[in-house]
Structure 1
Amino acid sequence: MSDAAEFEQDGDVTWIRIGEHPQSAVSLSDPELLVFEYVQHLALCIDAVFARPAPLRVTHVGGAGLTLARWVHATRPGSPQIVLEPDVALTESVRRELPLPRGHRIRVRPLRGEEGVAGLASASADLVILDAYVDGQVPSGLTTVEWLGEVARVLAPGGLFLANLGDRPGLRYAARVASGARAALGPGAQTAYVGLHQVLKSKGFGNVVLAATRDPLPLFDMRRATARLALPTGVVPPNDVISRGANAAPFSAAAGDTADSPAPPT
């Protein structure tokens, strides 16, 4: 049983914590206010690939405070969104403390990402976002080439897969997830990283956003967006992602080769 969620008000922002781990930061008055850097990185990738305000079909693997789902609703009204969040108590407390906006099309399903994605129709999502952590780590079942194959099945043509990955210097874990994403998406697939410079330059543990598509990524737009952020942020292009992880093999459930993401330093 997980710890109960704690809600802490800090000005216009409500922080949600479970145990020692901050889960989300939500502003009800300004859903476009994104506090966590990695959430800003997820958002800039979405904006680079999909023009506002056209609705998107979005599947979120991991929900917590529904920060990004609220942002999608605010920037692309009418977007049908599915959120796979197995922690029912967390979802109930979030709905109570931080009500969703009127007119939203956000549907939270009490399922883990593994079975939740498997139950979705093929080509039913323009965007799939993986942001699921248990005790500070991405569960191993959400990064195998088999599960990523299910993500690829669910993505419509022109679709985008984004994953928030915590990793150590060297980004060896992220390289294996990127390798699995390319294998799942098939020939021509592209992967890129977006993250703080200190993470991309292997100067410390941190979060990196993996972007993966079957189509060319809009690198110019992504780089232009990172230049507007307050903290130094960069983009690692597809060729460099491959060269950095030249020997990185996908995680595979069939081969018994799986791993949670690296634990953050204590």
Structure 2
Amino acid sequence: MPNDPAEPLPVLRETAFGTAKLMPDLDCPGGWLLTVDGTPQSYVDLTDPQHLEFEYTHRLGHLADTVAPPGAPLAVLHLGGGALTLPRYLAATRPGSRQLVGEADGPLVELVAEVLPWDGQGIEVTVGDAREVLATAEPGGHDLVVADVFRGSRTPGHLTSVEFVRLAAAALRPDGVYAANLADGAPLDFARAQAATVRAVFPHTCLLAEPSVLRGRRFGNLLLVGSHRELPAAALTRRLAGDPFPARLVDGPELRRLTGTADPVTDADARPSPVPPAGAFSIG
């Protein structure tokens, strides 16, 4: 049977850091999956921007929902853009938000703008390295800074140091919140060092992840959150418990025990996040 001429087709393009593919979700009109070299990067639903497909984006959404009163606009700096899942979510849930997205892959930005445009949503995208974008950000001008940067399936080393986190802190308002999405597996050495790094800058820190990831039973995403003010741990815990794949919030003494003797990472010893095991994220 020939293809329906109205049916969207996959789009494949070489970008600065690999082969990007935008694939329509045939089971969800308006849904699109972005992969780079076979690794899922983003899922967006043009008909329902509040639809968060990936579990770690659920957690980012919960965080964004709880850092300020419902509907209140936020000033947000997103480091790493992909297909702009979280910026679109915030534009829908917090109209009037001022959002700047830094994405290093210029051709990827062009592809997403062409296939999944975001005009009129109050989202500005600039092409540049995440650390360079952060270094030039308005000091003390943001309610939320989100670092979600993967070069393929790994976070670049220069975005994992205490110097980088200090730049994020400088870009935040006094009660602002920093969040970093990372990936790790047993024995969680990278996650422990990242927890120590964020704790070295922010007095209030928590870690959000599925129990199986925290126990080292599988490789997966962890969300590190830091602030100079008390975090909404109780509200986050309730929301995490209601997810299809519930996650745990680890803070206080439990986070200190998890961090153990890990030292904060500095620019001098920073390394990229670990290589995922075969099949951890790739979908072909």
Letter in 1 for 2:77: T
Does residue 246 (structure 1) correspond to residue 260 (structure 2)? The answer is yes
Question: Contact between 2:17 and 2:152, CA under 8 Å: does it hold in 1?
Answer: no
Question: Contact between 1:123 and 1:157, CA under 8 Å: does it hold in 2?
Answer: yes
Does residue 6 (structure 1) correspond to residue 40 (structure 2)? The answer is no
**Separation (CA, whole Å) in 1 of partners of 2:209 and 2:174:** 26
The gaps in structure 2 that reach 5 residues or longer are: 1-15, 279-284
Give the share of equivalent positions with the same residue, in percent: 34
User: For each residue in 1:206-254, what CA deviation from the matched residue of structure 2 results, as whole angstroms up to 9, or x when unmatched?
Assistant: 101111111122211011101211113211123211121121111111x
Where do 1:52-91 residues align within 5 Å?
Answer: 52-91=70-109
User: For each residue in 1:134-154, what CA deviation from the matched residue of structure 2 results, as whole angstroms up to 9, or x when unmatched?
Assistant: 020011011111111111111
User: For each residue in 1:25-83, what CA deviation from the matched residue of structure 2 results, as whole angstroms up to 9, or x when unmatched?
Assistant: 11000000000000101111221222220000000000010000000100101101110
Where do 1:115-194 residues align within 5 Å?
Answer: 115-185=132-202, 189-194=203-208
Query: Matched residue of 1:73: which SS?
Result: helix
Does residue 212 (structure 1) correspond to residue 226 (structure 2)? The answer is yes
Give the deviation of 1:101 after TM superposition.
4.9
Selected match of 2:33 from 15, 39, 44: 15
Letter in 1 for 2:198: A
User: For each residue in 1:99-145, what CA deviation from the matched residue of structure 2 results, as whole angstroms up to 9, or x when unmatched?
Assistant: 1153x211111111111100112101110001000020011011111
Query: Matched residue of 2:143: which SS?
Result: strand
Query: Matched residue of 1:178: which SS?
Result: helix
TM, length-normalised to structure 1: 0.94
Selected match of 1:96 from 114, 118, 124: 114
Question: Contact between 1:48 and 1:221, CA under 8 Å: does it hold in 2?
Answer: yes
TM, length-normalised to structure 2: 0.88
Question: Contact between 1:4 and 1:90, CA under 8 Å: does it hold in 2?
Answer: no
**Separation (CA, whole Å) in 2 of partners of 1:4 and 1:264:** 18
Question: Contact between 2:34 and 2:83, CA under 8 Å: does it hold in 1?
Answer: yes
Aligned length: 260
**Separation (CA, whole Å) in 2 of partners of 1:21 and 1:142:** 20
Q: Which residue number corresponds to residue 274 of structure 2?
A: 262
Kindly report structure 1 stretches of 4+ aligned residues shifted beyond 6 Å: none
User: For each residue in 1:148-188, what CA deviation from the matched residue of structure 2 results, as whole angstroms up to 9, or x when unmatched?
Assistant: 11111111011111111101124221221222222223xxx
Letter in 2 for 1:47: D
The gaps in structure 1 that reach 5 residues or longer are: none
CA RMSD of aligned residues (A): 1.2
Query: Matched residue of 2:201: which SS?
Result: helix
Letter in 2 for 1:264: P
Q: Which residue number corresponds to residue 4 of structure 2?
A: none
Does residue 203 (structure 1) correspond to residue 220 (structure 2)? The answer is no
Letter in 2 for 1:240: E
